[in-house]
Structure formats: C-alpha cells, structure tokens
Chains A and B, each alone.
Chain A
Amino acid sequence: MMEIGLNHYLVLSTILFAIGLLGVMRRRNLLMLFFATEILLNSVNIAFAAISHFYGDLSGQMFAFFVIAIAASEVAVGLGLLVVWFKRSGSIDLETLKSMRG
C-alpha cells in the first residue's frame, strides 16, 4: 500500500478548492455562495495542517486557527447583511443585487 505523504494531502486540498471555486462560479443564490466560501476556507486549512505536520512546524496550525476565526466572523457579518437584504428585497438571488447597470 502506498505511503500517505504531503502530496496526497495537497492534491486533496486542490480538489476541494476546485469544488469550492466551481460552487462560487456556478451558484446564483447568495446563501449557496457562502457555503462555497466555507469549502474554500476548509480546503486551505487541510493544506496548512498537512504542511505543518510534514515539516514539523506549528505555524501552519496557527494560520489554520486564524482562518477559522476569520470564517466565523465572516459568517456572522455576512448572514446579518443577508438577513437585512432579504427583509429589504424579498430575495437572496444574486441578480437582485445588480442595482447599478453600467
């Protein structure tokens, strides 16, 4: 059986990042866009933890912690804005945000 190395984790992280990017480009619903953003942040966390393990350095885990903190605050502010926008316009579709037609 193959030994699981750093490259395995990096490839997995890349695949998850691609899925997240696909979601960001494909979705038109703002809540789904937030979900895709969470996938992006999580895939990066895997890469950070893997590099931290295979190089014996704790900095990767530290950055993963800060990424988690940023994701939590992003969700709090983003959902607040989303609730305000839904109360105002009755829809969380991305098309309703196009107010300036240049």
Chain B
Amino acid sequence: MFEAIAFYLFAFLTITMFFITVMSKHALYSMTALAAGMIFISAFFFMLGADFLGAVQIIVYTGAVMALYAFGMMFFDSTRELKEKNTPSLLVFGLGGMAALLTVIIVAAPIVSSNITAAYPIVEGVGNTQAVGMVLFTKYLIPFEVAAVMLLVAMIAGIVLAGKKMDVSLTLVEDDVIPQPEKEKEKAAS
C-alpha cells in the first residue's frame, strides 16, 4: 500500500522533472530540474533495497555531476533563452517511443524466454552495503580497478582540456587583453 503510493508519487515527480529538463528553454531551469530528478530517482533505489546505490546516486550525481555542470555553465552564456531550430516534434516523439520500445524488447527477450537464476545471490543476514562490498571486491574486482583507472584518466583529461591558460586570471587583466572568441575564430580560419 505505502510502497504503491511512494512508487506512483516518485514516478510522477521524476517524469515531470525530466520532462521539464528536456522541454525547458532555459539552461538553468533545465539543470535544476535534472538535479531534482536525480534525487527523486534515488528514492526508487531506497525502495528497492539498494541503499548503497541510492546514497551513491545522491553523492555522485547531485553532488559531483550537477556541481560540475553548474561550474561548466559559468563558462557559457546560460542566462539568455536558447534559440533552437526544432524538427516536427510529433514525428520525433513517435520515433523516440518506438526506439525505446525496441530497445526494451531486444534486451528483455532473452530474460523472458529463459528462467534465470541468481549468479551472485544476495547474502542473508548482512546489510546492503556489506553485501555490495563482498561482491564488488571479489567477483568484480578487475572491473572496479579498471573503472578507477578510467576515472583517473577522465580527471586528467578534464584538467588538461579545460585548464588551458588557467595561470592567467581573466578577472585581473584589463578588458582589451582578454582574447575574444570572434578574434580567435578569425585567427584559426586564417
């Protein structure tokens, strides 16, 4: 009973927030709605008994990823409305729904046809965090290490890409010293 109420409430909230994210013309509204939707999604994880995953969802997505987006949006002019040339939305919506349905059928067909058994059953008597740790550091140790290396590579790539000319403070130099994007484009074209 309560699970059903919580499910429908959070499903409605999540769908609404993500719909705002997709449809809004302001980048700031879009980002805020996305952050709210991420938090609502963690409620599903808590309902499903995946407590650790829910905590990671809140920490990583709304803590790290959305903060990164918020800092990234300081580079872009995000206050004005986005002018976008849109294709006919009914066709796009129909194609989107059909593509999603096809994806689900492709992925779900082998699951439906065979009765699956748990490869790594949930251990009785321990909490979710302990059970996750026991599986993650035994069966999935190598993917875990590879993911750690991948995150390191991503961090170095982000620093190298975004951190060029970071030793020059753009707020302290005079206005005419700051290179304008149009001038750089002309320089690159010539």
Contact = CB atoms under 8 A, between A and B. Distances in A.
Contact of A88 (B49, B155, B181): B181
Contacts of A8: 7
Contacts of A19: 15, 18-19, 22
Contact of B30 (A32, A42, A56, A59): A32
Contact of B147 (A2, A21, A55, A69): A69
Interface string B22-55: 1000010011001001100100110011101100
B110 interface: no
A66 B56 CA distance: 11
Nearest to B65: A75
Contact of A32 (B75, B82, B188): B82
Contacts of B3: 4
A68 B41 CA distance: 13
A68 B56 CA distance: 9
A68 B64 CA distance: 11
Contact of B120 (A26, A58, A64, A90): A58
A61 B34 contact: no
A59 B136 CA distance: 9
Given A57-B122, A87-B181, A68 B60 contact: yes
19 contacts: A9-B44, A12-B15, A16-B14, A17-B103, A26-B92, A29-B27, A31-B27, A39-B21, A39-B37, A58-B120, A64-B50, A73-B150, A73-B154, A80-B161, A81-B161, A83-B75, A86-B181, A87-B75, A92-B76
Contacts of B22: 19-20, 22-23, 26-27, 35-36, 39
Given A15-B15, A32-B27, A49 B53 contact: yes
Contacts of A97: none
A58 B181 contact: no
Nearest to A94: B84
Nearest to B74: A83
B119 interface: yes
A82 B80 CA distance: 18
Given A56-B121, A84-B164, A23 B158 contact: no
A88 B44 contact: no
Interface centre among B100, B157, B160 (most CB of A within 10 A): B100
A1 interface: yes
B127 interface: no
Nearest to A21: B96
Contacts of A4: 3-4, 7
Interface string A45-60: 1100111110111110
A80 B166 CA distance: 13
